[in-house]
Amino acid sequence: MSHDRRASAISEGLFVLVMSAFLTLPAAACGLAMDRGAGPGASPSPARAGGRPRPNGSATGVVVSTVDGDTIHVRVGGGEEKVRLIGMDTPEVDWYGGRAECYGAAAGLYTRHRLLGRAVRLRFDSGLRDVYGRLLAYVYVGRELFNLTLVRRGFATNDPVPPDTRMETTFAAAEAGARAAGRGLWSKCRPA
């Protein structure tokens, strides 16, 4: 293992350890933040009511909270949207009572560390919302496509879900590179 790879692995391990300290909030309190404005009869956010997102369009906002590695809350258009990063999938976390998967907490902490409080640009593909009502987007921090960063660094796998497959070949190549290099979950988790 090269010195750079060893230093990177050590710094990622320390990052996960330090960020784990911030997960001491009760699950109920985290659940309240997740459910804000959701559910039957809830009025649509201003972002949904006016200035609706359009397929292949974009919007800008600020990340106000994170759910896990691939789901965030973004203040956009005067409202708050639950946004699912598309084209990839991170392992699940147990922070809200679910079943934890290998490297899920690391992915969730990395997303929180990189995105919380940051201005982002949301770029939409063909579909706008999933069956859970989440806005589907490629998330950019400056010029960086964060969805792709998660796959490249081994926090996520390629997961094309039609009709949002514009980046499928790019994400597949990034996953192959991460797997070959043994980055992230590819070095820590048993293949399914």
Query: Of 81, 92, 152, 175, which residue is the catalytic one?
Result: 92
Is 99 in the active site? Answer: no
172 token code pair:
């597949």
Neighbours of 123 (CB within 10 A): 18
Q: Is 134 a catalytic residue?
A: yes
> Which of 55, 88, 54, 52 has its CA nearest to residue 69?
88
101 in active site: no
Considering the candidates 84, 123, 153, 183, report the single residue annotated as catalytic.
84
Find the catalytic residue in 48, 112, 123, 134. 134
Residues classed as catalytic = 84, 92, 134
